Structure 1
Amino acid sequence: MPSTHARLAGVSVHLPETVRSAAETERLVAAASGGFRPPPGLVHRLTGVERLHVMPDDWQASDLAAAAARKLLAGTGTDPEGIDLLIFAAASQDMIEPATSHIVADHLGLGCPVFDVKNACNSVLNALETAHALIAQGSYHRILIACGESPSRAVRWSVPDLRTYLASIPGYTLSDAGAALLLEASAEPGVLGHGFTADSRSWSVGTLASGGSAHPRGDEHTYFRLDGVGLRRAFERLGPGILDETLQRLGVAWRDMAAVCVHQVSKPYLDELTRRFGLPPEKIAVTVTEHGNAASASLPLQLVRAQESGRAGPGDLVGLVGLAGGISMGLSVIRL
Structure 2
Amino acid sequence: MTRRAIITGTGHYLPERVVENSWFEDKLDTSDEWIRARTGIERRHFAAEGQTTSDLGIQAARAALEKAGLQPDDIDGIVLATSTPDFTFPAAATMVQSGLGMTRGFAFDIQAVCAGFVFALANADAMIRSGQAERILVIGAETFSRIMDWTDRSTCVLFGDGAGAVVLEAREGKGDNSDRGILACDLNSDGKYRELLYVDGGVSTTGTAGQLRMQGNLVFRHSVEKLAKTAHAALDKAGLTPDEVDWLVPHQANLRIISATAQKMGLPMEKVVLTVADHGNTSAASIPLALSVADGEGRFKPGDVLVTEAIGGGLSWGSAVLRW
Instruction: Tell me if structure 2 keeps the 8 A contact 1:194–1:331.
Output: yes
Q: Describe the shift of the 1:257–1:274 C-alpha distance in structure 2 as closer, same or farther (beyond 3 A).
A: closer
Equivalent position of 1:33 in the other structure: none
Question: How far off is 1:266 after superposition?
Answer: 1.5
Of 72, 81, 96 in structure 1, the residue corresponding to residue 88 of structure 2 is 96
Task: Say which of 90, 114, 128 aligns to 1:135.
Answer: 128
* Counterpart residue number, 1:212: 203
Which residue of structure 1 lines up, in the alignment, with residue 106 of structure 2?
Answer: 113
- State the TM-score, normalizing by the size of structure 1: 0.88
Counterpart residue number, 1:150: 143
Q: TM-score, normalised by structure 2?
A: 0.91
Which residue of the other structure, out of 222, 227, 244, is the alignment partner of 2:232? 244
Aligned-residue sequence identity (percent) comes to 28
Aligned partners of 1:320 and 1:238: how far apart in 2? 13
Match of 1:14 in 2: 13
Aligned to 1:162: none
Q: Confirm or deny: 8 A CA contact 1:152 1:175 kept in the other structure.
A: yes
The offset of 1:277, in angstroms, is 4.2
Task: Give the aligned residue type for 2:216.
Answer: G
Query: Hey, what does 1:34 align to over in structure 2?
Result: none
> Which residue identity lines up with residue 10 of structure 1 in the other structure?
G
List alignment gaps of at least 5 residues for structure 2.
174-178
2:259 to 261, 264, 271: 271
Match of 2:163 in 1: 178
What residue in structure 1 maps to residue 176 of structure 2?
Answer: none
1:306 to 2:294 alignment: yes
Range 38-47 or range 286-295, more displaced: 38-47
Match of 2:42 in 1: 50
Q: Assess if the C-alpha contact under 8 Å between 1:198 and 1:327 holds in 2.
A: yes
Deviates more, 1:208-217 or 1:198-207: 208-217
SS at match of 2:113: coil
* CA contact 1:179–1:297 (8 Å) conserved in 2: yes
Looking at structure 1, the residues matched to 266 and 316 of structure 2 have their Cα atoms a distance apart, in angstroms, of 18
Whether contact under 8 Å (1:254, 1:280) holds in the other structure is no
Distance across 1 between alignment mates of 2:20 and 2:89: 34
Tell me the matched-pair count: 316
Structure 1 range deviating more: 168-177 or 96-105: 168-177
- The CA distance in 2 between the partners of 1:69 and 1:174, in whole Å, is 22
CA RMSD of aligned residues (A): 1.9
Partner SS for 2:264: helix
Structure whose CA Rg is larger: 1
**Preserved CA contact (<8 Å) 1:88 1:147:** yes
State the Cα distance separating 1:294 from its structure 2 match: 1.4
Q: What is the SS of the residue equivalent to 2:93?
A: helix
The equivalent of 1:73 in structure 2 is: 65
CA gap of 1:104–1:239, structure 2 versus 1, over 3 A, is closer
SS at match of 2:221: helix
Find the aligned partners of 1:146 and 1:312 in 2 and give their Cα distance: 20
